[in-house]
Amino acid sequence: MPATVTLTFNNPLNASCQVGDTAYYLSSTASSGGFTTGAHSNIVEIGVITSITGTTAAPTLNFTNSMVSSVPGGSYILFSKDNKANMSSALGYYCEIKLKNTSTVTSELFSVGVDAFESSK
């Protein structure tokens, strides 16, 4: 049965989080190599974000037709975009990327992918 759920955060949301995105939670995580990890099978859908209110310091996500009645405290919250509305490729003439590893243990980067194409002829 769909429920109304409200999640309030102590920190700003990711800049690309917006109304219409689908939010999920992961209640159990572990630490591996200085990174937080979790099993894909444990991800639970909260629902589609219907509104975002509050300041950037303490934003609130609202879900009108949530798949769950509550989200356990301390859960890892993530979101995904609706790929029907967000199916565009990179635009512009250049891109600058900064990769930063804050882990205190040795880590390796195995791959970096780029979506590049010639668009101005």
- What pLDDT tens digit does each residue of the chain (121 aa) get? 577 888 988 888 888 888 999 999 888 777 777 777 776 668 889 999 999 988 777 899 999 888 788 888 888 888 998 776 655 555 566 667 888 888 888 888 888 887 766 655 5
Q: How far apart are the first and last CA of the chain?
A: 53
Q: Which of 80, 89, 96, 93 is nearest to 121 (CA)?
A: 93
The pTM score is 0.62
Q: Which of 60, 74, 58 is nearest to 25 (CA)?
A: 74
Q: Provide the CB-side half-sphere exposure for 50 (13 A, CA).
A: 11
Residue 50 pLDDT: 92
Number of Cβ atoms within 10 Å of the Cβ of 60: 14
H-state helical runs in 1-121:
none
Residue 34 pLDDT: 76
Residue 23 pLDDT: 92
Please tell me the chain's helix, strand, coil percentages from 3-state DSSP, rounded to the nearest 5.
0, 30, 65
> What is each CA distance from 117 to 68, 84, 111, 112, in whole angstroms?
42, 21, 19, 16
